Structure 1
């Protein structure tokens, strides 16, 4: 998709430097991909905060060992 955007040259140069992209397009793709990865992690953290993981008390090291040995 072609997009026209007004982005300050200083910001573009910093993104190119930090991302290691060969050109502006590749640098922006790298930067946007990393941004989305971070946001996905933030979403997962929010989900865990809303509904924390609950560990089953029955699963102990000895219990797991017994399960594995009984297979």
Structure 2
């Protein structure tokens, strides 16, 4: 998809340097993928905080099961 966006040269230059990208398109792809991943991690974290994981077995019970 072709997009026109007004982004400062400094921001683009920094994104290209940090991502080691050769092109602006590549740098923007890296930046977007990274942003999306970080947001998904935040969402998963919030879900775990609101609905904590429950473990069926204790640590000792798991060790015993693994040794069988």
Query: Which bin holds the TM-score, normalised by the shorter protein?
Result: 0.7 to 0.9
Give the Cα–Cα distance (whole angstroms) in 2 for the partners of residues 65 and 13 of structure 1: 52
Q: Deviations over 1:8-67 (max 9, x none)?
A: 1110001001111111000000011011110010000010011011223x4332x23443
CA radius of gyration, larger in: 1
> What TM-score, normalized by structure 1, do the two folds share?
0.83
Long gaps (5+) in structure 1: none
Long gaps (5+) in structure 2: none
Which residue of the partner structure matches residue 38 of structure 1?
38
Give me the CA root mean square deviation.
1.3
